[in-house]
Structure 1
Amino acid sequence: MSLHSNNQPSTTKMFVEFRKQTSAHLPIGHSFIPFDILLTVVNSHEIDSQLTVKGLFTELPYSDMGLRYHFTKLIDSGWIELEAVSTDARLKKVKPTTKLLKQFGLVASSLACYLK
């Protein structure tokens, strides 16, 4: 069974290019944890949903220790940022930085030919 029609690039080729572009533009290395953190943060931003640190850690299927390590690295290197929640001082919102949004835009542009 073929994964693609004759008029479309192969699905496998698209996945290979996606991995290449995300590796080139995002700090994901060899782990899916930072990728999943970044993807969740950007998706939350795009759907205009408030994402708290607790919500992020609950949503992803990784250990708190693994998440915390990558989460801290992403904050320290300027990919995501925290913002206080005005209604509850115990909560922090997780937001993408301009740097992250720009890099996601570059990934999207490089993959546009696959999304036709």
Structure 2
Amino acid sequence: MITRGARRRWSRSVKRAIVEASLAPGVMVSALCRQHEISSGQLSTWRRQYRDGDLAEAAPLVPGFARAVVSGTAPALGLAAASTAMETIEITLPDGVGLRVGAGVSQAALSRVLAALRDA
């Protein structure tokens, strides 16, 4: 008998292992569900996710690099002149998407924007 208790969180790798075990020849699905204390409906959902590729290991995030091009030069008159000349940063990604940000943008904010562009 499966009782309701605190909500459990299952990692993708554990879900995948249970689904793969359920697909082995001769396995009694009801016994497997009892062993892992899950319902047959939950296993069916995980099987669908497995079939759709949703239980695959997430690919590690690998930083990508874009070619940097300096257009124009800042006068060598000191920091004030250099900071005025470099007020914006323009980034053109390999797929042609362009982005302009202020020179004072935080690394965290820029990383979030670039990740969103990469996933779009």
TM-score (norm 1): 0.25
Please tell me whether Structure 1 or Structure 2 has the larger radius of gyration of its CA atoms: 2
Higher strand share: 1
TM-score (norm 2): 0.25
